[in-house]
Amino acid sequence: MKKLVYFVDDDHIANKLFLRVSEKISINCEVFTSAIDCIERLKNKLPDIVLTDLNMPQTDGFELINIIHDKWPNLPVIAVTGQSSVDRAVKAMRTGACDFIKKPYEIDELRSTIERNIIYSEIAKNKSDSVNTNYNMIGDSPEIHRVFKMIDKLSNIDCSVVISGESGTGKELAAKAIHTCGIRSDAPFIAIDCGALPDNLLESELFGHKKGSFTGATSDRTGLFEAADQGTIFLDEIGNISDSMQIKLLRVCQENVVTPVGSNKSIPINARILCASNRNLSKMVSDGEFRHDLYHRISIITLPMPSLIERKSDIPLLIDFFVNKFTKKYDLPTRTFTKSWIKKLQNSPWIGNIRELNNYIERCIILAEGDTLDGTPPPDSDQLNSLRQDNFVSLKKIEQEHIQHVLKGVNGNQIKAAKILGISRSTLWRKLNDKT
C-alpha cells in the first residue's frame, strides 16, 4: 500500500511540483496551502508523514510542527527549507520536526528522506505501543523479538528462570518484564546483586535477622524473600555466591522457607525466583564451581540475552532512545548523530553492551558543542575495523584487544576501565584472567 504524505506550502507552484514528484516516487499525496487547512484535515485523517514549508503567512511551519508534536506526537514531520536556512531547519527540529530537506531537492533524496522517517516512525510507534509489555527493552531485531516471545511465554508460567548473558545486556529488565506481565504483577518485584555483598551481609539481606544476632543488628529485619511474598525475587549474578550460600538457597528452593539470622524458626515464603548470571552456570556445574542440585532447581528455563554486537540493527533505535533520555535529563537542545557516525557506532565492539552505549551517549550529550554529535570517537572503532580485516578474528580477541586499549587509556586503572566499559570490576578481572 502506498504511503500517504501531506505537503504544506503556501506556494501553489511548489505544491504542483510536489504532486508531480509524488507520482514518480510512488506515494499518495495531499497538498495544502495553509497550516490551518492541514490541521483541519489531520482531525479527520492522519497521513504517514507531513512535509511543511517554514515560511508561511498567519500560522507558519514552526507553529504547525509544534501543534502536530503536541496533538499527534507519533506523526513525523519533515521541515522543508531553503539552502541558506540551515539554522531555521535546526530550530524546526528543536520544535519537534524529525528531519529537514533543502530546496531544491533531488527526487532520490526526497524519496529516501520520506521512506527513512516513515520507517523510524513505525518502529517508534511499535516501541511506544509495546512499552507496557517490553518495559523499555528497546529493539526491533530478530534477536530481541525472540527475547520478547520468551518473556510472553514465561510470564504465564510460574517457574524458576535463569537469565543468562553478558553484563549490560538487560537481564534485570527482562526479569522485571516477566514479573510485570505475569500473575504476580500486583505483588513486589525485589532485585539484589548477589555478587556485590559478602556472605554474612547477603544472608541477612535475603533471609532477615533478629535483633542482637550480630554486631550492628539493633532491631529485627525482614529479609528480601519474605518481603517478596506473593511476588518475585530477582537474584542477579547468582554465579558469584559462595558454596555455603548455595546450600542455604537450595533449602529455600526445596522447602519454600527461610530462617532469619539468629533465629531457629523457619518462615514460609511464596515468591517466584528469577536468577541471572553473566557466567556460564552449566560450565560452572561441570567444573564443580556451582552445585548441580541448586542449578537444576533454579534453571527450569534459561533465557539467553543477546549481546549488543549480536543485535547491531537495534543500535540506531537505542541511540535515539538515549539521546532523547539525556537531552531531557540535562535540559539540552535536541542533538543528532550523523549517519556515518551511527554506522561507526554499529561497528564498535560494545563489550559493556547497552550499559556502555548508554554511558557513551551520555558523555556525547554532555560534551557536545553543536547540534550534531560526531566529535567523540566511538569505542575502539578503528581498532575493530583493523581486526576485521582478518575474517577469522574471534569476538573474544576483539574483546580482549578492546579491554587492553581502554586500560592503556586509563594507565591501567581497573576501576576506571570497568566504569568506561560499563561492567563490574569483578567481571573485568575475570575477563582479564580468562585464558580459554
Pairwise pLDDT comparison (265 vs 396), residue with the higher score: 265
Q: What is the mean pLDDT of residues 105-127?
A: 72
Say what the pLDDT of residue 297 is.
96
What crossing angle do the helices spanning 315-329 and 107-129 adopt, rounded to 10°? 70
424 Cβ contact partners less than 8 Å away, ≥ 6 residues apart: 167, 195, 418
The vertex-35 CA angle with 334 and 332, nearest 5°, equals: 10
**pLDDT(175) > 90:** yes
As a CATH number, domain 4-126 is 3.40.50.2300
- Classify each residue of 248-265 as buried b or exposed e, where b means 16 or more C-beta atoms within 10 Å of its C-beta: bbbebeeeeebbbbeeee
**pLDDT(123) > 60:** no
CA distance 334 to 345: 19
CA distance 421 to 404: 11
Structure confidence by residue, pLDDT tens digits, 367-401: 887 777 765 666 654 444 443 344 445 666 777 88
pTM of the predicted model as reported, rounded to 2 decimal places: 0.60
143-304 and 4-126 share a CATH fold: yes
**Domain ranges in the chain?**
4-126, 143-304, 309-387, 395-433
Class of domain 309-387: mainly alpha
Q: What is the mean pLDDT of residues 69-73?
A: 87
Q: What is the mean pLDDT of residues 72-92?
A: 78
- Give me the DSSP letters along 41-59: HHTT---SEEEEES--SSS
Say what the pLDDT of residue 130 is.
42
Given CATH 3.40.50.300, say whether it is the number of domain 143-304: yes
- Yes or no: say if 335 and 373 are a contact pair by the CB < 8 Å rule: yes
Pairwise pLDDT comparison (72 vs 424), residue with the higher score: 72
As a CATH number, domain 395-433 is 1.10.10.60
